[in-house]
Amino acid sequence: MDELLAQRRRDAYRYILLLLALITVPINTHNLYTGQTVPAVAGLLLLAILIANIWLLSVKRDALLTPAVVLLLSISLVLLSVFYGQNYSLYWLYPLLVALPILLKTHLAAWLGLLCGAIVVPFLFGSYDTRTATVLSLSMALTWLASAWLVYAVTEQASRLRDMAVTDALTGAYNRRYLELQLQQALGNWQRYGKPSTLLLIDIDHFKRINDRFGHSAGDEAIRGLVNVISRRIRSVDTLCRYGGEEFVVLLGEADSAAASAVAEDIRARVEAASILPDVSMTVSVGVADLTCAESMDHWLNLADAALYLAKRNGRNRVEVALPDVHPVSIAKTVPDWR
């Protein structure tokens, strides 16, 4: 997911650079035609930089310059052309003002926009009558604001859609799809950098009895209450996912089995002490599986499942740690009976 997102950002940056290159071509052509040597040389240098960045992004490499630097150089070229008497070059600021919120973070786009305004507005009022200068200033400000609002609206919508795709609607925890992505990333970090991770597989004890006795609404409340208890205990760098039904997975980054067991025991004790449901005491069983014992993502999950099965078999409301020589696939048929 991270690599795909990075590639999409590179593609978006490349398209904007293409747009900026197209903008500089007529500026450079006019400067060369009119014999404006300094603006022409500056424009050709900027065009060369843009082309180099476009090529680097096309071959999936990082650009030489950040978007902020590229936009600042582009705006500087326009202002340099204006300084040499080409007042009409101001109109090239409009597409650049549109690009500011698209390429840059909000605060950086705002600062560059204000800097551009601080330079251009005095020039406008010094070169044009008040009415014309006012209209040009307001139109540039509205161009930037319209672009910023559209970028904000699209970003917020994309964020909501992403959240819907990777979170569980009932609890707000991440879903199984997101879990698999995080597990693959953890495996990669272990194989490349030796960073350990540990899984906690948490299951509510006798959850079917809760549903049968108090109804499914009480079962939903129990699940949400469990998520609240777990969320208050784990770190912001850890990942809580709903694995299925009343079962949850916590991925503890850079934690070995000893540290993870302590966290699991604390969660178990907190759940037992909490009054999640008013008329019944709720407990959980936890299986702990260290990544160092796993050969693949499925094997890792199976190890945690085997440890959870052991916790259930030994009386529930307890924590068990997976052993590396356990072959948990054979217990799959017994799952409906002990949960």
Active-site residue set: 246
**Cα separation, 121 vs 108, whole angstroms:** 20
Here the tokens at position 96 are 């650049």
3-state secondary structure 170-188: CCCCECHHHHHHHHHHHHH
Specify whether the CB–CB gap between 99 and 150 falls below 8 A.
no
Return all residues near 280 (Cβ < 8 A) that are at least 6 apart.
210, 213, 214
Specify whether the CB–CB gap between 240 and 230 falls below 8 A.
yes
Residue type, 240: L
The number of CA neighbours under 13 Å toward the Cβ of 186 is 29
